A and B are shown apart, each in its own frame.
Chain A
Amino acid sequence: MVKLTIDGKKVEVEEGTTILQAAEKLEIPIPTLCYHPLLEPYAACRVCMVELKGETCKLVPSCNTKVAEGMEIETKSERAVKARKLNLELIMARAPAAEKVQELAKEMGIEKTRFEIIDPDEKCILCGLCVRTCEEIVGANAISFANRGKDRMVFTPYGEPSEACIGCTACAFFCPTEAITFEDIHKRLVVHEEMELGPSTAVRVPIRQAVPMVPFIDEDSCIHFKTGECKICERVCEKEAINHEMEDEEIEVEVGSIILASGFKSFDASRIPAYGYGRYENVITALEFEKLVNASGPTSGKILMTNGNEPQAVGIVHCVGSRDKKYNEYCSRVCCMYSLKFAHLLKEKTNAEVYDFYIDMRCFGKGYEEFYHRLMKEGTNFIRGRVSEVTDMPLTEKEEGKLIIRVEDTLLGEIRRIPVDMVILATGLEPGIDQNEIAKVFNISCSQDSFFLERHPKLAPVSTFSDGIFLAGACQSPKDIPDTVAQAGAAASQALALADKGTFELEPITAVINEELCAGCQLCVSLCPFTAINYNAEKGISEINDALCKGCGTCVSACPSGASQQKHFRDEQIFAEIEGIFIE
C-alpha cells in the first residue's frame, strides 16, 4: 500500500494505482478527455495535469502517473489550472462543435477560445479513444492515426473502407464527442431486426418481458467471437457471471410424462416471390409489424417506413402461405384476427388509408365478429380477393413511388391495382422446422401437414398415441392464444393426473414372451413400435415391458418360434375362430 497526499488530504492506495484513481477515491474531480477506465491510459489530451510538489515541482498527467510513497499532489494549483485551461482552449479551437469540450470549458470557466478556429464543424479532439478501442478491446485494428502535427486525423488505410472493420460500432460508442457515427449503408432509418440487418448489441435480453430477465451473449454479434479480443463484459461484471467458454450442456432427466409445446414457425414469405418480400423494403411480415408497433421495437412504437416517414396507405394481405395448394392447404386460423388488429392499430396511430385483402373473414371467437364490424365502421377498406402480386412498376402517375397491390376484387368482379406505401403480409403458421425429428425422438406421429398427431381429434386432443406424451399449443395445430391456454391447461392436468394416480392401467391384451420358446433372435425388438421389448443379454431372451405394450400383436405374428403370444388373441384362439366359421 502506498500513502500519498492530494490537495492536503491523505489517502492510501495499492501500488500501481494512478494519481487519477487515487483522486477518485478521495472524490476529488480531475477533468479528463482521452481517459477511459477500460483502456490503457493515453495521456495525450494533457487536460488531467496536476502539480507534483517536491524538490523540483513539475506538472504530471494524473491519468498515467503511478503513485509513489509520500507524493504530494496539488490538483488545483495555479500552475496546473492555468496549463489545463490553456490546453482546453487549444482543444476548443480545434473542435468547436464538440459538446463535451464546451461543457468542460464551462466547468473550467472558459468563455471562448483565443485561438484560430479552422473548421467550425469539427468534432474530433484526437483523443485516440476510437483507435485504442479498435486496437486494445476489439482487436480489429481497422482505424489508426494518419499524418502528423496539425494534420493528424483518424483514418483508414488509404482512406478506403477498412477491410478489417467488423462493423461492431465500438469506436462510435467510445467517442466522447460524436465525431464518429455509424449509419446503415442503405441509409435506412428503420431497420427490422428479423431481417438481420444492422448491428445488434451482443449482450441483450431476448425481449423486454423475458423471464428471467437475464441477458445473453449473441455469438453472431459478439466481438470476442470475431477477433478473439474484447471480453469487456467479463471485466466489468462484479459478480463474475460471464463465461465466454460456456458450451451447450446435454442434461439427462428422468421423467414420467412429457408435454410437447414446441410451437410453430412463421411461413417464410420469400417463398412467394410475387409478394416481393425481401425485394421491396416496405413489404414486411406480420411479426415484423408486431415488432414495429411495439414500444420496445426499432421505432419505439411509431409506424414508419424504412425511410423514416409515415405510410400514407397500407395494404394487409391475408392467407399468405395458407389455404393454398402450392404451400399449405390448411387455414392458419389466427391471421384474420391479427390482420384486423393491425388494421385497427393503423387507424389509431396513423392517418393512413388501410386496405385489407381477404378471402374469407374468419372471426370465430368471442367478440371477434363484433370487432370486425367495428373496423368496417372505422373506415378500413375490405377487398375480397386473393392478392396476386405486389409490384413497384407504375402504370400511372399516381402509382409512382408506391407499391402496387394487384388483386381480383371478387365482389366487384374486377382486377384492381391499389397503390400503397407499406404492405403487411399475414403469414400463416407452419410446424416448426424440426417437427419430424422431434416426432421421431418421442415416437409420436405427425399428421399429413406435419403438425403432431393427437390421439383422437374430438375425444383426445392433448394426448398422443404414446402414453405419457402430451401436446399443447400450435405444434399440434394452428391456434390462437385462448385455445392454446386451454389446451395447455388440459395437457398439464392430464400429465398431473398421470403422476397423481399412483396406479397405472395396463392393457389386458398385451403380448407375453414364453421364455422357454424364445431363442433371442430379437426380431420382435426392432418391430415393436412402442419400444416395449428389450433384449435381456444375461438371459439371452427378449422381454416385454407390460407398461409399454399396447397389444398390437405385431411381434406375435412375426415371432418365428411362437414364443410371443398376445393375451386373448393367441394363435390357438384365432385358429379356433377360423375353424368355427366353417362349421356347417
Chain B
Amino acid sequence: MASYRLNIMICAGTGCVSNRAFQIREAFDKEIRKNSLEKEVLTVMTGCNGFCAAGPIVIVQPEGIFYQKLTVKDIPFLVEEHFLKGRPVKKFMYTPPKETEPIPKMNDISFFQKQVLIALRNKGIIDPEAIDDYIARDGYAALSKILSKMKPQDVIAEIKKSGLRGRGGGGFPTGLKWELARKAEGEQKYVICNADEGDPGAFMDRSIVEADPHTILEGMTIGAYAIGASKGFVYVRSEYPLAVERMHNAIAQSKEYGLLGDNILESGFNFDVDVIQGAGVFVCGEETSMIASIEGKIGEPKPRPPYPVEKGLWGSPTNINNVETWANVPAIILRGSDWFSKIGTKTSKGTKVFSVAGKIKDAGLVEVPMGLTLGEIIYDVAGGIHSDKKFKAVLIGGPSGGCLPADCLGLPVDYESLTKAGAMMGSGGLVVADEDNCMVEMARYFLNFTKDESCGKCTPCREGNAAMLDILTRITQGEGTMEDLDLLEDLAHAIKDTALCGLGNTAPNPVLTTLRYFRDEYIAHIKDKKCPAHECRQLNTYTIDEERCVSEGHGCDVCRRNCAYDAIMGEKGKAHRINQDKCAKCGVCYEVCKFAAVKVD
C-alpha cells in the first residue's frame, strides 16, 4: 500500500463540482506531474464537505489545512507554496467575517466546531469509490462483530437501547420497527433504503450516498441480519446519477470482498442488494408508494394498516429506513448504544444531518447532535443571516414542514419539540427566511410543490391542495378576502385530518404554521393589499423620492434606462418620477438605484 506525504482531499459535492472541482483536480494533477510529486502527493475526490458556501473546498491532509473558494488559476501557486515550499497559503484559507486572521484547520472553524459526525463520519476523508478506504476507517467491522458474536435479537436490542429513531422524518423508533419486522410472519423478508429524497433542495441523503455508500450497505446488512431478510433494495431517485453509480460500484466491490451476497464472511448469512431507480415522483418517498413503485405498479400510497413491516413488498414483511438511519447503524453497533445514547436529548438520541439553506451566510450540510437549539444552528454553525438582515422564520422539514418564527429560536432540535411547535423534523431541510421573505409567498411556494406532486388518489390532497394554492395565489396577488382566510384554514385542517398518506397529511403544515405565527402578513395582504416583505411585487408601489434623487443621485437616469415598461419619466440631472399606470412592479428600478432613491411600499 503506497503511502503519500500529502493527501489532497478535493470536495466533489454538487456545489463544488459545479464550481469546477474536477477541473481543479486536473490542475493539481498537472502541477504535481510538473513538479514530479506523483509519488508524494495524491489527489482524492471525496464526498460533500458540507461547507458549501465556501466551495470549492480542498483539505490537505494530514495537516488538516482547509482551503476554500479555490479557482483553477490558484492551483499552481498553491502547489508551489504549500507542497513544495511547505508554506500553507493564508489567502486561500477561511477568514471569519469581522476578523483578520484566517483559520487554517477545518475543525477550528465555527461551521464545523459544533458538529458531531456519525452518519457523515467518513465525509471528506475517504474516496467513496474505494472500499479499502472505508475498511481502513473501521468499515465492516460492525458487520463482522454481529456475524460472529451477536444473535439477531441482540442486534435489535442494541438498536432499541440506542434510541435511534427514523431519520426520514417520521421519527419512529428504529429498533421497534426492526422488532416488528422480525416478529412478522413470512419466510421472505426485505429491507429497503429510502434514498428518494424528494424535498426540493434537500441533499442530505445524496451527500451520504455519494460520500460513503458503504456505510449504508453495512447498515442494511446488519439490519437484514437482525430482521431475517435476505434481499434488500436501495431506492435512489433517478435525479442522482452519481449516487446511483456510486451505489452500484459499492455493491460490486462489497460482493467481491465477500461482504455482500452469499455466505457473507463465511457466516452462512445471505443478503443481496439491488439498486432501483425512482421515476421522478415525490410521493414515492412514502413507504407504500415506494413499495408499489418497486413492484412495478403506479406509485400511489395504500392505506395503512397493514403496515409494510407486516405486509410490504410483494406482501412480505418489509423494513424501510432512510439513508441516514442506515448510516448510523454501523457506528452504533461498533461503538455501542451507550455511546450513542449519550448524544442528543432524552427522547431524540444521536445526531441529525441538516442542509441549511436560504438567507444564511454559511449555507451547507451540517450534522449536529439533537438538542442543539435552532438559534445555535442558524447563528453559531451557519454564521447567521446573510447581509446581517433580520431573521424572520426558519422552515424545517421542507414542503411538509412548518415555518417557525424568532420566538422559536430557542427550541431544541428534537422530534417532540418541533412537532409541538407545529413544525416537523422532516428529513433535515432547514430554510432560513429573513425580513425580505414574504411568509404567504413561502407557504404558496411549498404548496405549489406538494400540489404538483400529489398522486391524485384521495380527494383532500388532490382537490384540496389545489384549492389552497388557488386561495394563496389570489392572496399574494391582492385578491384575497377574509372569507378566503377562513376557508384556507378550514381546508388546511380538513386536509390534514383526512388525507390518505403523509404527503397530504403534511402538505398543509406550511399554511398552518404561517397562519399561526405570521397571520398579520396574511391580513396585510388581504386588507391593505400590501406585502410587508415586499416580495409580492404585484402589491408593491414603487415611488421615487424626488428630493433624494436629485440631492444624492443627481438624476443619474439609470432607473429610467433600465425600465422595460417605459414607466419612468425624467431627464438626466432632474428628478425622476414613476408613472404608476405603466409601472409593472418588476422592481428593477429599486434594485439598480444606487442612491436608495426608489422607495417601495
Tell whether any CB of A sits under 8 Å from a CB of B in the complex.
yes
Which has the most chain B C-beta neighbours within 10 Å: A44, A64, A114, A148? Answer: A148
- Complex interface residues of chain B between 401 and 460 (CB less than 8 A to chain A): 451-460
Q: Is the interface of B mostly helix, strand, loop or mixed?
A: helix
Q: Which residues of A contact B281 (CB under 8 A)?
A: 148
**Cβ-closest chain B residue relative to A58:** B497
**Cβ-closest chain B residue relative to A153:** B456
* A405 CA / B500 CA spacing, docked (Å): 67
Q: Which residues of B contact A47 (CB under 8 A)?
A: 459
**Cβ-closest chain A residue relative to B452:** A149
**Cβ-closest chain A residue relative to B504:** A46
Q: Which residues of A contact B214 (CB under 8 A)?
A: none
Known: A43-B303, A90-B467, A115-B467. A149 touches B487 (CB 8 A): no
Task: Among A66, A86, A151, point to the contact of B490 (Cβ < 8 A).
Answer: A86
- Complex interface residues of chain A between 80 and 103 (CB less than 8 A to chain B): 82-83, 86-87, 90-91, 93-94
Q: Does A49 lie at the interface of the complex (its beta carbon under 8 Å from any beta carbon of B)?
A: yes
Q: Are A44 and B497 in contact (CB under 8 A)?
A: no
* A83 CA / B490 CA spacing, docked (Å): 8
Q: Does B470 lie at the interface of the complex (its beta carbon under 8 Å from any beta carbon of A)?
A: yes
Task: Among B456, B460, B498, point to the contact of A145 (Cβ < 8 A).
Answer: B456
Q: How far is the CB of A583 from chain B (nearest CB, A)?
A: 105
Q: Does A424 lie at the interface of the complex (its beta carbon under 8 Å from any beta carbon of B)?
A: no
Q: Are B456 and A147 in contact (CB under 8 A)?
A: yes
Q: Are A145 and B499 in contact (CB under 8 A)?
A: no
- Complex interface residues of chain A between 56 and 74 (CB less than 8 A to chain B): 58-59, 61, 64, 66
Known: A94-B463, A116-B470, A144-B298. A79 touches B458 (CB 8 A): no
Which has the most chain A C-beta neighbours within 10 Å: B463, B464, B500? Answer: B463
Q: Are A148 and B494 in contact (CB under 8 A)?
A: no
* A59 CA / B500 CA spacing, docked (Å): 11
* A47 CA / B453 CA spacing, docked (Å): 22
Q: How far is the CB of B475 from chain A (nearest CB, A)?
A: 15
Q: Are A152 and B456 in contact (CB under 8 A)?
A: yes
Q: Are B303 and A64 in contact (CB under 8 A)?
A: yes
Q: Which residues of A contact B283 (CB under 8 A)?
A: 148
Q: Are B462 and A126 in contact (CB under 8 A)?
A: yes
Q: How far is the CB of A292 from chain B (nearest CB, A)?
A: 46
- Complex interface residues of chain A between 127 and 172 (CB less than 8 A to chain B): 128, 144-145, 147-152
Q: In the complex, which range does the number of interface residues on chain A fall in?
A: 20 to 34
**Cβ-closest chain B residue relative to A92:** B463
Q: Are B456 and A148 in contact (CB under 8 A)?
A: yes
Q: Does A45 lie at the interface of the complex (its beta carbon under 8 Å from any beta carbon of B)?
A: yes
Q: How far is the CB of A498 from chain B (nearest CB, A)?
A: 68
Q: Are B494 and A82 in contact (CB under 8 A)?
A: yes
* A150 CA / B452 CA spacing, docked (Å): 8
Total interface residues on B, CB under 8 Å, equals 30
* A115 CA / B454 CA spacing, docked (Å): 18
Q: How far is the CB of B266 from chain A (nearest CB, A)?
A: 46
Known: A64-B303, A90-B464, A149-B454. A79 touches B459 (CB 8 A): no
Q: Which residues of A contact B467 (CB under 8 A)?
A: 90, 93, 115-116
Task: Among B298, B455, B499, point to the contact of A149 (Cβ < 8 A).
Answer: B455
Q: Are B458 and A46 in contact (CB under 8 A)?
A: yes
* A145 CA / B298 CA spacing, docked (Å): 9
Q: Which residues of A contact B499 (CB under 8 A)?
A: 46
* A116 CA / B460 CA spacing, docked (Å): 15
Q: How far is the CB of B306 from chain A (nearest CB, A)?
A: 10
Q: How far is the CB of B196 from chain A (nearest CB, A)?
A: 15
Known: A83-B494, A149-B454. A90 touches B463 (CB 8 A): yes
Task: Among B298, B454, B463, point to the contact of A93 (Cβ < 8 A).
Answer: B463
**Cβ-closest chain A residue relative to B457:** A44
Q: Does B294 lie at the interface of the complex (its beta carbon under 8 Å from any beta carbon of A)?
A: no
Q: How far is the CB of B479 from chain A (nearest CB, A)?
A: 13
Q: Are B494 and A126 in contact (CB under 8 A)?
A: no
Q: Does B89 lie at the interface of the complex (its beta carbon under 8 Å from any beta carbon of A)?
A: no
* A227 CA / B305 CA spacing, docked (Å): 30
Q: Are A149 and B500 in contact (CB under 8 A)?
A: no
* A35 CA / B490 CA spacing, docked (Å): 25
Q: Does B491 lie at the interface of the complex (its beta carbon under 8 Å from any beta carbon of A)?
A: yes
* A91 CA / B281 CA spacing, docked (Å): 24
Q: Are B456 and A126 in contact (CB under 8 A)?
A: yes
Q: Does B523 lie at the interface of the complex (its beta carbon under 8 Å from any beta carbon of A)?
A: no
**Cβ-closest chain B residue relative to A144:** B298
Q: Does B27 lie at the interface of the complex (its beta carbon under 8 Å from any beta carbon of A)?
A: no
Q: Does B53 lie at the interface of the complex (its beta carbon under 8 Å from any beta carbon of A)?
A: no
Q: Which residues of A contact B455 (CB under 8 A)?
A: 148-149, 152
Q: How far is the CB of B500 from chain A (nearest CB, A)?
A: 6
* A90 CA / B303 CA spacing, docked (Å): 21
Q: Does B466 lie at the interface of the complex (its beta carbon under 8 Å from any beta carbon of A)?
A: yes
**Cβ-closest chain A residue relative to B464:** A90
Q: Are A61 and B487 in contact (CB under 8 A)?
A: no
Which has the most chain B C-beta neighbours within 10 Å: A58, A115, A116, A147? Answer: A115
Q: Which residues of A contact B456 (CB under 8 A)?
A: 126, 145, 147-152
Q: Are B462 and A49 in contact (CB under 8 A)?
A: no
Q: Which residues of A contact B487 (CB under 8 A)?
A: 114
Task: Among B303, B457, B493, B494, point to the contact of A87 (Cβ < 8 A).
Answer: B494
**Cβ-closest chain A residue relative to B483:** A114
Q: Are B303 and A46 in contact (CB under 8 A)?
A: no
Q: Which residues of A contact B459 (CB under 8 A)?
A: 44-47, 87, 90-91, 126
* A147 CA / B462 CA spacing, docked (Å): 12
Q: Which residues of B contact A61 (CB under 8 A)?
A: 303, 498, 500
Q: Which residues of A contact B466 (CB under 8 A)?
A: 149-150
Task: Among A41, A44, A151, point to the contact of B458 (Cβ < 8 A).
Answer: A44
Q: How far is the CB of A41 from chain B (nearest CB, A)?
A: 8
**Cβ-closest chain B residue relative to A33:** B459
Known: A46-B458, A114-B487, A149-B455. A59 touches B498 (CB 8 A): yes
Q: Which residues of B contact A83 (CB under 8 A)?
A: 460, 493-494, 497-498
Q: How far is the CB of B498 from chain A (nearest CB, A)?
A: 4
Q: Which residues of A contact B500 (CB under 8 A)?
A: 43-44, 46, 61
Q: Which residues of B contact A116 (CB under 8 A)?
A: 467, 470
Task: Encode B290-333 as 1/0 by CB contact (under 8 A) with A.
Answer: 00000000100001010000000000000000000000000000
- Complex interface residues of chain B between 455 and 510 (CB less than 8 A to chain A): 455-460, 462-464, 466-467, 470, 487, 490-491, 493-494, 497-500
**Cβ-closest chain B residue relative to A48:** B498
Q: How far is the CB of A469 from chain B (nearest CB, A)?
A: 63
Task: Encode A355-395 as 1/0 by CB contact (under 8 A) with B.
Answer: 00000000000000000000000000000000000000000
**Cβ-closest chain A residue relative to B305:** A66
Q: Are B494 and A149 in contact (CB under 8 A)?
A: no
Q: Which residues of B contact A152 (CB under 8 A)?
A: 455-457, 462
* A148 CA / B503 CA spacing, docked (Å): 13
* A148 CA / B462 CA spacing, docked (Å): 9
Q: How far is the CB of B596 from chain A (nearest CB, A)?
A: 42
Q: How far is the CB of A65 from chain B (nearest CB, A)?
A: 8
Q: Are B498 and A148 in contact (CB under 8 A)?
A: no
Task: Encode A245-287 as 1/0 by CB contact (under 8 A) with B.
Answer: 0000000000000000000000000000000000000000000
* A90 CA / B456 CA spacing, docked (Å): 13
* A47 CA / B464 CA spacing, docked (Å): 13
**Cβ-closest chain B residue relative to A59:** B497
The 30 listed contacts between A and B (C-beta, < 8 Å) are A43-B303, A44-B458, A44-B459, A46-B460, A47-B459, A49-B497, A61-B303, A66-B305, A82-B493, A83-B460, A86-B464, A87-B459, A87-B463, A90-B459, A90-B467, A93-B463, A114-B487, A126-B459, A128-B457, A148-B453, A148-B456, A149-B451, A149-B453, A149-B454, A149-B456, A149-B462, A149-B466, A150-B463, A152-B456, A152-B457
The 3 closest A-B pairs by CB, nearest first: A152-B456, A90-B463, A86-B494
Additional pairs, 18, CB under 8 Å, beyond known A87-B459, A93-B467, A115-B463: A43-B500, A44-B500, A46-B458, A46-B459, A58-B497, A59-B498, A61-B500, A82-B490, A83-B493, A83-B494, A86-B460, A87-B460, A128-B457, A145-B298, A147-B456, A148-B283, A150-B454, A152-B455
Residues of B within 8 A of A (CB): 281, 283, 298, 303, 305, 451-460, 462-464, 466-467, 470, 487, 490-491, 493-494, 497-500
